[in-house]
Amino acid sequence: MLVLDACPLCRTTLKEGAGSCPGCGADLAPWSNIAAITASYIGNARELITEGELEKAEAIISRLSQLSDVDPQVLASLQCKLALACQDIGRARELLSRVSPAEQPVLTEQLAELGQREMLARELYNQALTSARRGEYVRGARQMEICVRHFSADPALWELKLKLDLKCAYYVRVYADLRALDKLNARPAAWLNLESMLPPV
């Protein structure tokens, strides 16, 4: 539970659990409620990120950023964790400097790990591209299957994966590839009605 440590009106230092301000006499109950609501939002957002419910977490975090009394470092930490969970390396790096010094080492490490996974994914993508050019579609499809397990936030990876899955007639995977592209809001126009051309699975 978040505790008001100073009067929101006159900034007088408060004792824990004070019902009114000793400086200006303001009733502190409504302010304590806002603090409690804010604290519960922060807790919910953390849980949702852990559970992978990233859209819900994002909705709460964007609402939190509109509340005036949120600690900017706490907000930056939540935004940075969300960016890491969304595999948005650029945004996570940008937010890192605004996170509290205590949290920076852990998040820096996670960012480095994500960067390594992205590099590995790029390598697999290049290998799969070579396989595809040689007509080795099954091998390419396998390489892309591993690739997106390491990094899944780049539509270009899903596009190559989908082409290879189509070549191999892996239709269940093609449907999943399309869902992944839709989640990234990145389905190419040429594939808007692809489902209607696929055999049912």
Is-contact 35 4, C-beta < 8 A?
Answer: yes
Q: Can you say how many angstroms the Cα of residue 185 is from the centroid of all Cα atoms in its chain?
A: 15
Is-contact 52 87, C-beta < 8 A?
Answer: no
What's 189's DSSP letter? Answer: G
Site string for Zn ion, 18-57 (x = CB under 5 A): ---x-xx-x-------------------------------
Distance, in Å, from the CA atom of 11 to the CA atom of 134, rounded to the nearest integer, reads 71
Taking the least distance from each CB to Zn ion, the nearer of 12 and 62 is: 12
4 near Zn ion, rule: CB under 5 A: no
> What is the torsional sign of CA 89, 90, 95, 101?
positive
Q: Which of 10, 37, 172, 192 binds Zn ion (CB under 5 A)?
A: 10
Report the nearest approach of Zn ion to the CB of residue 31 (Å): 10
Please report which residue ranges of 134-170 form alpha helices under DSSP H.
Answer: 137-150, 155-167
6 near Zn ion, rule: CB under 5 A: no
Report the nearest approach of Zn ion to the CB of residue 23 (Å): 4
Stretch that binds Zn ion, among 9-17, 103-111, 144-152, 170-178 (CB under 5 A): 9-17
Stretch that binds Zn ion, among 14-22, 31-39, 44-52, 103-111 (CB under 5 A): 14-22
Is-contact 93 112, C-beta < 8 A?
Answer: no
The β-bridge partners of 149 are none
Taking the least distance from each CB to Zn ion, the nearer of 3 and 10 is: 10
- For 167, half-sphere exposure in the C-beta direction (CA atoms, 13 angstrom radius) is 19
Report the nearest approach of Zn ion to the CB of residue 32 (Å): 13
Report the nearest approach of Zn ion to the CB of residue 26 (Å): 5
96 near Zn ion, rule: CB under 5 A: no
Instruction: Name the site residues for Zn ion (rule: CB under 5 A).
Output: 7, 9-10, 12, 21, 23-24, 26
